[in-house]
Copies of this chain bind each other. A is one copy, B any other.
């Protein structure tokens, strides 16, 4: 399957992620036709209004028509829908954009069409959702993780990797278990701390209504992910439960160290904790 030819591409789930992918495929001239599949009538109408896809079709018709099939739906729906999609696939290439990988790969492990599927996770998102939130050029310059590449047919893997490269993404290959551990640390925990911070402050706001008059940019950047939607995030937290519990336990320990150092007026201890944290400068410029 040559990358050079434009493909008929079906996107199942045209929200923030699927919609932004549609814009990239169109812009990079990778698609000859973009077919949406949407459970929400409202989202389908918005996606057409914003010209994210050319048309919407029912699932079976979209699968039969497309050469490439992309799944961009919540990860709980992924584990049930992906096997059903593979049931109907002949030689199409299928890939997903989900944030967890172990469960979905496990769900199709023994499927006769397993080879047509490539497990991917482009590392981009925002706190907004739905087709209106789709962003042009979203994925460019970011990392994309390809999981368990040896389980995919070489031609399917090649097309997906070339497509991501053409979009401008940096390819990282990883086993699903390592992926789920790493994203717990660099993505999932950030969302939980933001949600919890929002709840902490909103709880106080009930009695102190003036509290947000003075909120500054530092607060906004720490709390912005708290706007993220539960339909996407609850399934991620539950599918990646074990890793997230480990990270959360460590994070609560780290917060408790700050609390104890402050309680005991431990200047040197606090200094040491912050010096450690400052080492993040090596990573985040």
A195–B262 Cα distance when bound, in Å, is 14
- From known contacts A214-B123, A226-B277, A277-B198, infer whether A248 and B244 are also in contact, taking CB-CB under 8 Å: no
Residues of B within 8 A of A201 (CB): 185-186, 189, 280
B196 close to A258 (CB less than 8 A): yes
Residues of B within 8 A of A250 (CB): 200, 203-204
Q: Is the CB of A50 closer than 8 A to any CB of chain B?
A: no
Residue of B nearest to A215 (CB): B186
A202 close to B279 (CB less than 8 A): yes
Stretch from A7-15, A53-61, A63-71, A205-213 at the B interface: A205-213
A124–B218 Cα distance when bound, in Å, is 8
Which A143-193 residues have a C-beta within 8 angstroms of B?
A: 143, 145, 172, 174, 178, 181-183, 185-187, 189-193
B181 close to A208 (CB less than 8 A): yes
A251–B250 Cα distance when bound, in Å, is 15
A176 to chain B minimum Cβ distance, whole angstroms, is: 14
Residues of B within 8 A of A80 (CB): none
Stretch from A27-35, A105-113, A263-271 at the B interface: A263-271
A270 to chain B minimum Cβ distance, whole angstroms, is: 5
Q: Is the CB of A256 closer than 8 A to any CB of chain B?
A: yes
- From known contacts A189-B197, A265-B241, A279-B198, infer whether A218 and B227 are also in contact, taking CB-CB under 8 Å: no
Q: Is the CB of A247 closer than 8 A to any CB of chain B?
A: yes
Interface centre among A189, A204, A218, A252 (most CB of B within 10 A): A218
- Size class of the A contact interface (CB-based, 8 Å): 35 or more
Q: Is the CB of A77 closer than 8 A to any CB of chain B?
A: no
A228 to chain B minimum Cβ distance, whole angstroms, is: 8
B281 close to A227 (CB less than 8 A): yes
A229–B218 Cα distance when bound, in Å, is 14
Residues of B within 8 A of A142 (CB): 216
- From known contacts A186-B216, A198-B279, infer whether A245 and B263 are also in contact, taking CB-CB under 8 Å: yes
- From known contacts A218-B191, A238-B270, infer whether A226 and B280 are also in contact, taking CB-CB under 8 Å: yes
B278 close to A229 (CB less than 8 A): yes
Interface centre among A125, A181, A187 (most CB of B within 10 A): A187
B241 close to A262 (CB less than 8 A): yes
- From known contacts A214-B143, A263-B245, infer whether A275 and B193 are also in contact, taking CB-CB under 8 Å: no
A186–B205 Cα distance when bound, in Å, is 11
B192 close to A258 (CB less than 8 A): yes
- From known contacts A211-B186, A252-B252, A277-B198, infer whether A222 and B225 are also in contact, taking CB-CB under 8 Å: yes
Q: Is the CB of A199 closer than 8 A to any CB of chain B?
A: yes
